[in-house]
Amino acid sequence: FQESDGFIGIYSNHNWSLYYEQGYLEAKYRLAQMVFIKKEAQGTLSELVGKSELSSDIFSRELMDCQIAKSEVNNLSKTSYTYMATSNFVSGINSYINNLSYGNTPLLFKLLNYKPKDFNITNIFAIQQTFLWENSAGGFEPLYFQYALQKMPENIIKALYPAYQAGIQNPIVPYQCNPGIYNETGDINNLTLYTPSVHIPVNISSIPAFSSPTSLAFPSSESFSNDWAVNGVKTDNVSALLANDPHLTTSVPSIWIGFQLVSPGMNVIGVVFPGFPGIILGHNSYIAWGATNGQTQETYFYAEETSSSHPYSYYSNGNWTKFTVINETINVKDSKPYNLQLEVADNGVVVDNDSGTKIAMDWTGLSPSYELTFFLHIDRAHTVSEFRDNLTQYFKVAIQNWAVAGSKGNIGIFPYGDYPVIESGNPRGVLNGTGRSNWVGFIPLKYEPSLYDPARGFVFSANQITVSPGYPYYTGWLYETGPRANEIYSLLNSTSGFNTSKMEKVQLSVHDYSTNIFLKPLLKSIEKYYGNTEIYNELESWNGNMDINSSAASVFHFWEHNIVNDTFLPYMEEYGITPQDGLYNISFFLGSDVTYHGPLMEDLVNWTINYPDSTYFNNPLNG
Each residue of 413-455: pLDDT tens digit?
999 999 999 999 999 999 999 999 999 999 999 999 999 999 9
Helix (H) or strand (E) holding 461: strand 458-461
Q: What is the pLDDT of residue 584?
A: 62
Contacts of 163 (CB under 8 A, 6+ apart): 193, 194, 428, 477
Residue 271 has pLDDT above 90, yes or no: yes
CA-derived radius of gyration, the chain: 25
Query: Tens digits of per-residue pLDDT, 94-116?
Result: 999 999 999 999 999 999 999 99
User: What's the CA angle centered on 405, arms 449 and 375, to 5 degrees?
Assistant: 75
CA distance 506 to 493: 11
The whole-angstrom separation of Cα 202 and Cα 577 is: 13
Taking the C-alpha atoms of residue 523 and residue 506, their distance in angstroms, rounded to an integer, is: 28
C-beta of residue 247 within 8 angstroms of C-beta of residue 225: yes
What does each C-alpha distance from 622 to 565, 570, 571 come to in angstroms?
A: 15, 9, 11
pTM for the model = 0.94
Give bridge partners of residue 363 from the DSSP assignment: 299
Contact 595, 588 (CB under 8 A): yes
pLDDT in tens, 462-509: 999 999 888 889 999 988 888 899 999 999 999 999 999 999 999 999
Residue 211 has pLDDT above 70, yes or no: no
In terms of Cβ atoms closer than 10 Å to its own Cβ (0-12, 13-18, 19+), residue 254 is middle
CA distance 186 to 448: 13
Q: What average pLDDT does the structure give for the chain?
A: 90
- pLDDT per position as a tens digit, 315-325: 999 999 999 99
3-state secondary structure 312-368: CEEEECCEEEECEEEEEEECCCCCCCEEEEEEEECCEEECCCCCCCEEEEEEHHHCC
| Helix H or strand E encompassing 88 | helix 81-98
Beta bridge partners of 413: 403, 451
Taking each helix axis from N to C end, the angle separating 600-610 and 482-494, rounded to the nearest 10 degrees, works out to 60
The mean pLDDT of 264-271, rounded to a whole number, is 97
Q: What is the pLDDT of residue 164?
A: 87
Each residue's pLDDT tens digit, 522-557: 999 999 999 889 999 999 999 999 999 999 999 999
Segment 322-347, tens digit of pLDDT: 999 999 999 999 999 999 999 999 99
3-state secondary structure of 189: helix
CB neighbours of residue 546 within 10 Å: 15
437-455: burial string, b at 16+ Cβ within 10 Å, e else: bbbeebbeeeebbbbebbe
Q: What is the pLDDT of residue 220?
A: 58
pLDDT digits (tens, 9 = 90+) for 568-578: 989 988 998 87
Q: Residue 183's pLDDT is what? A: 45
Question: Do residues 410 and 452 touch, judged by C-beta distance below 8 A?
Answer: yes
Residues forming a β-bridge with 419: none
Cα 268 versus chain centre, distance: 25
